[in-house]
Amino acid sequence: MQIKQSNLISRRAFGRNLAMGTTALAFGGFPSILKARPRGRRAVVLGIDGMDPSLLQKFLAEGRLPNIRKLIDRGLFSPLRTSDPPQSPVAWANFISGTNPGGHGIYDFIARDPFTQKPYLSGARLEGTAWNLPLGKFRLPLKSPNPVSLRAGPVLWNHLEHHGIPCTVLRIPSNYPPTADSARTLSGMGTPDIHGSYGIFTYYTDRGGESSRDVHGGHIERVRVIDHRIDTHIPGPANSLIHGAPPADLPFQIRIDPVNSSVLIRLPEGEFVLREGEWSDWIHLKFPLLAPMAAVHGIVRFHLKKARDDFALYLTPVNMDPARSALPISTPPGFAADLANRLGPFYTQGLPEDTRALSAGVFDDQLYRRQALLVLEENLRLFEDAITRFQDGFLFVYLSALDLNSHVFWRTLDRDHPLYSPQLAREQGDFLPWLYEQMDGVVGRALESADDRTLLLAVSDHGFGSFRRQFNLNGWLMDHGYAAPAAGVERGAGSYFSEIDWSGTRAYGLGINGLYLNVKGREHSGIVTRSDIETEAATLAQRLRDIRDPNNGEPVIHRVCRPSEIYSGPCLNGAPDLLVCYAPNYRASWDTILGGYPRETLLDNLDPWSGDHAIDSLFMSGVMLANRPMNVDRPGLEDMAPTLLNWFGLKPAPGMTGRVFSTESG
């Protein structure tokens, strides 16, 4: 499938090919037990993250989306109830499991260990004890911790495979590490880079006044140019084979052409020339841990912003090499390598569009847009390969373009956003409509492959709205006596709860929508007794609902919910004590998400991340499109798995609480 927009980024071939390999990871699965089912029945689901029903209707009315119009004419268009809260890892876990967060246990991007208060990414964490044999300064591993999925509940494709229905699932969120089974799966949102994060870019510059420092989602590396040469390094993973686990950095050299606007980049695996304004192809890297016994393989792309006069070189996060991944990113283990062999390397980190480089000022809008097109090009290549090879069973393909790009370019649509300008709208306002047209092309290609035995669904997990104002929940809690400041710590200068005295703190916010009470016997320094939880929660919820924005008198928070009011299932103990459901145009501040306590309570959102969906789900819905009529009454994400199982003649799996919507011939 070809991208229609011109001026795609040029790329140069580099280096010699490394031998392709597979991760030596044993996996187990259900036996394929053939059950009676409609012979040859197929289902294709396009997971179009962030497709907004209002924008969809607008572009349909303008005639921009002929294939989606054709799909609707054959079947239906319906708003789709999203999750509580409307966050992608929560929403797609609803889709996967056919139930709500009380059944699958994913409540936010960020979770915490209540006793240690250490945060972790909610979908997975390392578990197990590392056993090492000391040998001088080295530690030879006898056993290492493994990433374990924290998503509970049933799994749609596992149930299908158990009944003999082949499945291919590409990049669905909330599936890292991928669920072990006979299905062919590639993990998506939630998959880390080699540092174990959502993605850390590196920006090399000699700009005057700049210093080496960490920024959100990246690192600025101040370099020195001596005789047209720069000696620096690529940050590597922690080397757990050496005492103290120092980083296994990879040194490299940059030679600046004194005449042309280009550089020669020399790496241990080879060298290549990069011109100003150009992106490299994917570069294979090997980070030695205990050469030649162990190494971590990664892939990166470089972009040369400026060769001279404020040298500037961007390096993507180091992605796990799909051909030789150190951690499980696919099932079976060789599936990712097979894709890379046939299609070339691709982003494996779960959030590939580098919105954080844009927020940090490393990218301008146009450079970010070009990087986003690289991601889209790869996604379309994976989709085209999958739809071409698809013969029977179930196929799911995830597309991220509308979600990440709506986050950063919503300011081109909302005239009341503090970052909106007519010039910005002229320069970048075409991008989101164009991306909807690309999704229309995906739908058209899927329609071409759909016959009378195929159920085709296009599903979005949520829509979008403006993020104009940010609310510092933790700052508000401190101002109103729910959090005690730590002695000798300047407010607003610390990070992750370093500014509070837990012995005097009754409540704290973490993640985008979560609020926790500091419960005695649960948290390490809890002070709220269990008998006081309900009273404390009710009082706090009412006070939060009463907050008004002094700029306009509007409510900041629409609802505050107790878990038992909106969730059901065996995972309720992991839920926040209160779910903060923001009013339209408001969201938790960036400081709130990771335990900061700034002095301002409400302030304008001046980050390019200008659109969001983490508001009250009553104001937010996704989209469901189908190629055949369905018996639909307010469908929700948790209804998708039972409905798909019904299409194949199967009953909902144990633990699924969603409803079945039958098709015309289902």
Tell me 412's DSSP state: G
In a domain, 459, yes or no: yes
**CA proximity to 512, closest of 590, 396, 452:** 590
Which residue, chain included where needed, has tokens 């999958």?
A: 386
Per residue in 5-44, pLDDT (tens digit) is 333 323 222 232 222 222 222 223 333 333 444 458 999 9
- Residue 403 one-letter amino acid: D
**563, 589, 612 — which closes off a domain?**
612
The number of helices, as runs of H, and strands, as runs of E, in the chain is: 16, 38
Shared domain for 476 and 456, answered yes or no, is no
Shared domain for 375 and 506, answered yes or no, is no
In a domain, 290, yes or no: yes
Per residue in 233-269, pLDDT (tens digit) is 999 988 777 777 788 899 999 999 999 999 999 999 8
Shared domain for 231 and 185, answered yes or no, is no
Classified as helix, coil or strand, 55 is: helix
- CB proximity list for 209: less than 8 A, separation 6 or greater: none
Shared domain for 277 and 385, answered yes or no, is no
Question: Residue 213 — pLDDT band, cuts 50, 70, 90?
Answer: very high
CA angle 281, 10, 445 (to 5 degrees): 90
**CA proximity to 237, closest of 285, 189, 273:** 285
In a domain, 173, yes or no: yes
Shared domain for 205 and 101, answered yes or no, is no
- The structure tokens listed for 412 are 């081109």
Shared domain for 257 and 239, answered yes or no, is yes
Shared domain for 452 and 474, answered yes or no, is no
What is d(CA 178, CA 1) in angstroms, rounded to the nearest whole number?
A: 27
In a domain, 55, yes or no: yes
In a domain, 196, yes or no: no
Question: Residue 231 — pLDDT band, cuts 50, 70, 90?
Answer: very high
Give percent above pLDDT 70 in the chain: 90
Q: How many CB atoms lie within 10 A of CB 209?
A: 5
Per residue in 97-113, pLDDT (tens digit) is 999 999 999 999 999 88
Number of structural domains found in the chain: 3
Model confidence, pTM: 0.91
Question: Residue 293 — pLDDT band, cuts 50, 70, 90?
Answer: low
Q: What is the pLDDT of residue 33?
A: 35
Q: What is the pLDDT of residue 292?
A: 52
Shared domain for 82 and 66, answered yes or no, is yes
- Which residue spans within 415-506 are E strands per DSSP? 454-460, 465-471, 484-485, 500-501
Q: Is the pLDDT of residue 660 over 60?
A: yes
Q: What is the 3-state secondary structure (H, E, C) of 555-596?
A: ECEEEEECHHHHCCCCCHHHCCCEEEEECCEEEECHHHHCCC
Per residue in 143-184, pLDDT (tens digit) is 566 889 999 999 999 999 999 999 999 999 999 999 878 899
Q: Which residues of 362-393 are buried (b: 16+ CB within 10 A; e: fewer)?
A: bbebebbbbbbbbbbebbbbbbbbbbeebeeb
Q: Is the pLDDT of residue 438 over 70?
A: yes
Greater pLDDT, 202 or 36: 202
Q: What is the 3-state secondary structure (H, E, C) of 345-377?
A: CCCCCCCCCCHHHHHCCCCCHHHHHHHHHHHHH
Helix axes 365-389, 431-449, angle to 10 degrees: 0
- Residue 32 one-letter amino acid: S
Assess whether the previous peptide bond of 550 is cis (omega < 30° from 0): no
**CA proximity to 339, closest of 185, 120, 125, 182:** 185
Write the CATH number for 415. Answer: 3.40.720.10
- Residue 343 one-letter amino acid: L
Helix axes 365-389, 401-409, angle to 10 degrees: 160
**In the predicted model, what is the mean pLDDT of the chain?**
90
Q: What is the pLDDT of residue 492?
A: 80
In a domain, 11, yes or no: no
Shared domain for 258 and 306, answered yes or no, is yes
Question: Residue 136 — pLDDT band, cuts 50, 70, 90?
Answer: low
Q: What is the pLDDT of residue 663?
A: 77
In a domain, 354, yes or no: no
Shared domain for 484 and 526, answered yes or no, is yes
Q: How many CB atoms lie within 10 A of CB 258?
A: 9
- The whole-number average pLDDT for the span 545-569 is 97
Shared domain for 179 and 75, answered yes or no, is yes
Q: What is the pLDDT of residue 613?
A: 98
What is d(CA 278, CA 639) in angstroms, rounded to the nearest whole number?
A: 46
Shared domain for 158 and 219, answered yes or no, is no
Lowest-confidence segment of 97-101, 315-319, 412-416, 486-490 by average pLDDT: 486-490
In a domain, 474, yes or no: yes
Range of the structural domain that residue 576 is part of: 468-612
Classified as helix, coil or strand, 648 is: coil
What is d(CA 499, CA 486) in angstroms, rounded to the nearest whole number?
A: 5
